[in-house]
Amino acid sequence: MKILIIGVSNIGDCILTTGVVEAIYQKFPSAEIDVVVGQRAKEVFACDDRINQIIVYDKKARFSEKIKIFKDLRGKNYDLIFDLRNTFISWFLSKKVYRPQNIKGHSWLKHNSVLRKFYSYDELKNFKPRIVFSQNDFGILKTVSFSDYIVLSPTARSWTKTWPPEYFLKLIYLIRKEYSDWGIIIVGEESEYHYCSQFVIDEYVKNLSGRTTIAQLAIIVKNSRAVITNDSAVLHVASACNQPTLAIFGPSDEAKYGPLSDNSIALRRHFPCAPCEKAQCRFGDKRCLKAVLPEFVFYYLKKILNGEQLPESRFKRVLLTRCDKIGDLLLTTPAISAVRYSWPNSYISFMCTKYTQDILTGNPDIDEIIPLDKGGQHKGLIGFLKLVWGIRQKRFNIMINFHPTNRIHLLGFFAGIPVRIGYDWKMGFWNNVVVKHKKQMGEKSEIEYNFDLLKLVGISGGRFFQKIVVLPDDDLWVENEIREKGLNKFIIIHPGASCLSKMWPLENFIQLAEKIISNFDIKVVFVLGPGEEYMERKINQILDGNVIIYRNLKLKKLIALISRCSFFISNDSGPMHIADAVGKPLIVIFGRNQPGLSFRRWGPVNKSATVLWKDVGCKVCFAHNCNKGFLCLQVITVDEVFDAFCKKLEEIKV
């Protein structure tokens, strides 16, 4: 019996057809099997003794050469033809022609479906890609001088499939730092050797691009600890070798071309346009690839190397919401990180107020910030309907609302989001997955309350911390401020707060500043917010220019300034949470005894923080309606705060 397989031209696609050869050989072990493939793909079958003849078809060849190949094939009188390319020519070569079925799923299964007349669908799943190599090919391992190494393929046939080179370079540095005695083998084609040379940062990184055959490459991959690759031929080589693989996807569909190996993962970001499966990015910026950061890839590489279970992104498009204040939003950032690392490929949008959006700007765990502008474009019924329409267009699969409001609950329902998770409070009945609202009991940190919602979708807390990013322009601004005003070492005092029940007397803050200036060689900076002009006048009147005052700083600049201070002293306020998030030593003065408003729920979480609070015997806390003149704040003395400051200063050696 004579059998002809009309194969594909690309190396990667050709590797995915090797299961077809195995299946044919098992069904017809005595048959002569010929294969027609493209010039680049012929190496895939070079060592396979089951193949009688490899016939190279060059689609760029002259017409006369193509006619000659056709006549040669026709003269061989094949009994069966398996046409993986769906060409019309196969009908002229044999009466029995089988073509693959147009099925959903991975490409290798589509190729295998060409044999559906001979095997059941479940049986076809057993014929996975496999590369055959000879004993002589093992000599390539002599060029690899590392006992442990990672294979890295930084190239692809298309620019739109290629992860940015600066990302690969950053990843190599991360690998070298963590696994200092491991090697990194760079692989690719001959034409890519020069491009790949930029990744050779030391003697532990070796460039073998174009220095191996396909079979030799398979041996190198087979003996590695893991493979990191774009959507390229190397990805399919790793699948054929069943080697742990971390594949980075952009425009192509991982459901069709993703890794088949055990303990592997395809990392991508489900942007609205992805997978576009286009040769050119319509935005020209490859945003779907750039969203997959090196630190993120390295995190999952370590999981692969440790043999840990890899997550699956249950939802492609995720909307998280929290539309309240600065501190509340910052205490939600650990939950955002947990969602990102639990659902690595999900496109994550976060809705917050327009005022607080700078808290999330630059956060690598978020793909899109949606600012809620209640006083502007989203005001009133018309504004709300516009918002609903905009959210509906984004086709979110799930919404998790960390702060219950009527508006957000209605939004999720009318936007048609299938899964809506939130609290049973403030029209919580619009959610279809609910948690009983117990935050007013103040039994734990707001961070932990946020994770109560995530547990409903199988996400646990783990080691996730508050996250805030200082942008380069703002860092440059604060650098100039430090230089111009001599702020080599400075502490920040923030005497404001959102409510009188949170505010330690301004006079006390001024006295505290005087004591610090008198006893330490350190600058004191006051930061004030909107409506606090009276504070500025009083501070200047008493301290007479001995301190620096910033009022009404843009939130981005405030974040940058706080990130560079040596110490932070404040009431319970948004800036306090910023200082907490950037890990600054701080003292925070708390008043209110109401459990849901107390430091147990809203206090700082970093270990460099000191909380000052006194119980003055209030059975019921009336907060801003206090009838005791905010006694809980008044009883905390300047000396107590100063002593706490001195003690902390000694600990941290400022």
Share of the chain above pLDDT 90, in %: 81
What confidence score (pLDDT) does residue 22 get?
Answer: 94
| Joined tokens for residue 131 | 């590369």
Q: Which long-range contacts (CB under 8 A, 24 or more apart) does 221-227 make?
A: 221/151, 223/141, 223/144, 224/149, 224/150, 224/151, 224/185, 225/148, 225/149, 225/150, 225/182, 225/305, 226/150, 226/151, 226/301, 226/304, 226/305, 227/150, 227/151, 227/152, 227/153
Tell me the C-alpha to C-alpha distance, in Å, between residue 167 and each of 154, 270, 289, 302, 380: 10, 19, 10, 17, 44
Cα radius of gyration rounded to whole Å, the chain: 32
Which secondary-structure segment (H or E) carries 34? Answer: strand 32-37
Residue 133: phi, psi to the nearest 5?
Answer: -130, 160
Q: How many angstroms separate the CA atoms of 170 and 284, rounded?
A: 23
Q: How many angstroms separate the CA atoms of 488 and 294, rounded?
A: 33
Residues of the chain with pLDDT under 70: 654
Give residues with Cβ within 8 angstroms of 627, minimum separation 6. Answer: none
- Indicate the angle between helix axes 638-652 and 506-519, nearest 10 degrees: 40
pLDDT digits (tens, 9 = 90+) for 197-234: 999 999 999 999 999 999 999 999 999 999 999 999 99
* CATH superfamily entry for domain 317-457: Glycogen Phosphorylase B; (3.40.50.2000)
Using an 8 Å Cβ cutoff, are 417 and 398 in contact?
yes
Q: What share of the chain is helix, strand, coil (3-state, %, to 5)?
A: 40, 15, 45
What integer best gives the mean pLDDT of the chain?
93
Number of other CB atoms surrounding residue 319 within 10 Å: 26
SS3 state of residue 46: coil
* CATH superfamily entry for domain 2-124: Glycogen Phosphorylase B; (3.40.50.2000)
pTM for this predicted structure: 0.88
Which residue type sits at 425?
Answer: W
What confidence score (pLDDT) does residue 377 get?
Answer: 94
Q: Strand locations in 136-248, DSSP E?
A: 149-153, 183-186, 205-207, 226-230, 245-248
What confidence score (pLDDT) does residue 654 get?
Answer: 61
What confidence score (pLDDT) does residue 652 get?
Answer: 81
For tokens 């630190």, the residue is 295
pLDDT digits (tens, 9 = 90+) for 248-278: 999 999 999 999 999 999 999 999 888 988 8
Q: How many angstroms separate the CA atoms of 192 and 227, rounded?
A: 18
pLDDT digits (tens, 9 = 90+) for 296-351: 999 999 999 999 988 888 899 999 999 999 999 999 999 999 999 999 999 999 99
What confidence score (pLDDT) does residue 305 get?
Answer: 96
CATH architecture of 472-652: 3-Layer(aba) Sandwich (3.40)
What confidence score (pLDDT) does residue 243 get?
Answer: 97
The CATH class that applies to domain 136-305 reads alpha beta
Which residue type sits at 571?
Answer: N
Burial of 506 by CB count in 10 Å (0-12 exposed, 13-18 middle, 19+ buried)?
middle
- Indicate the angle between helix axes 406-414 and 380-393, nearest 10 degrees: 50
Tell me the C-alpha to C-alpha distance, in Å, between residue 329 and each of 226, 404, 577: 38, 13, 9
For tokens 């984004």, the residue is 394
Domain(s) of CATH 3.40.50.2000: residues in the chain: 2-124, 136-305, 317-457, 472-652
